[in-house]
Structure 1
Amino acid sequence: MALNIPQQSHFFYKRNWSPTADGILIKVLIQKKKELNWHGEIIPEIVIEQATKAIEMGINLCFTSEEINERLVFLESRYRCFKEVVKTPGTFWDFPSNIVDATDSVWKTIFTKNKLASAYYHKGEPIFNELACLFGENDVKLEKTTTVIILSETVDNVHVAEPAISHIQCSSEEVNSPMVEAKPNLRRKLFVDANYVDDEGSTTEKDNEADKECQEKNMEMKTQKKGTLRQQLESPQPYASPGGSSCASNSPYIWRR
């Protein structure tokens, strides 16, 4: 159950002070601090006068120098108080949403230390960065925790295993020839046809010695065959006539009249 705590404006703005008046005052102080480069908590009187005139011109409200100084003391107390709140164990400041997350028991512990801390129960400090520019000159800036990785300067030797290589025995007398792809067996033609052209399409000169030799052998065989046939035809037949023209003389039978 949430605690019954008033809103932030209840603690921050009283009498004529408002977020607009605070904004003008802080803007003038930051600008003059960069120009004059003063250090410490004491603000030069000339800067207070310029801030008073700027508020009067901006929102038509006139504040005395004492009121400006009192407001600056209150703004610094807000800055210090909020830093103590977010440092308390058990609290978490979500910067994007500007909300301080904590359990009610933690908040009660914070309230006992500083009554102004009740202003941050619903919302964080609205102008924390601006207040840090004015009052946090010697403070450590609040930032999110960052993980730091420390790299070692030492170098460890990593052993890399060498690949295993099988060494060739050079003393071996056996020599293995490289594998040769087997080619199909070639067949030679014993008898060459006279009309067959075995190198058709070749651009080289044809060698006809083998063809001529075969042709001569064929002609010789044909001549021998012709001579044998002729001899058979010309050889005398039994009972043949010497003249070869008489048919009666070749007949084995005797004519009868």
Structure 2
Amino acid sequence: MATTASTTKKKRNVAWNGTMDGVFLAALKNQIAEGQETGAGFKECAYNAVAQEVSDVLNKTFTKDNVKNRLKTLKTTYRTLNSIINLSGFGWDETLCKISVDEEVKNDYLKLHPEKQRFFSKRYPLYKEMKAICDDDYARGEEKSKKRLNPALLSELHVVSSSINRVADAIISTGEVHSLPDLKDALLNIAGFAKGELIDAYVYLHGHHKEAEAFLSLDEMDRVDMLRHILRRLAMQL
């Protein structure tokens, strides 16, 4: 069995590749499933366990510091990718596993951010796996969804639901509302947003029927992306 940080002195930096990253991200996911991650990050024992698992699978020694440093690098990479993807005119190509954007739009962006060139020329086949681990809003979402909601959260959801209902009634009274019966429930199922933000998004989507239909057609993760984009747009209008 390969040795790890608990039994060896500090090792030199590791040159990671795609295969190693795949094993690494899978090991982190195992630790999440075992409850070894908190809102503040992974527990120290989790880093040791990941280092041991990666060492065993790849038959190469990895230390706790190797694991921590790689996670920090992947988080930086993911957040940069995600910030670009969420810009207007940009997207993600699921087939090619790279940023999708019109050539002219990309060139205009790179004139302002030449240091980001590498993010357009490289493919990221582990993007979804990175998202599950590195995105502070999405990570652990699947595990959290399996837990029962505490009374305080249920009360807050009730307040948000009531507020949205009042807004919906006001919109309906104008006689200009479209038929979007699932919109309220779709918004309530999204965690991590303030009551006021959800109400603003509800009002906005009711006034933009095509975007509302697009929102309802998305899966949960993509709805969060779109909701963020809408809220940024609304903030810019203030």
Taking structure 1 as the reference length, the TM-score comes to 0.44
* Structure with the greater alpha carbon radius of gyration: 1
Taking structure 2 as the reference length, the TM-score comes to 0.47
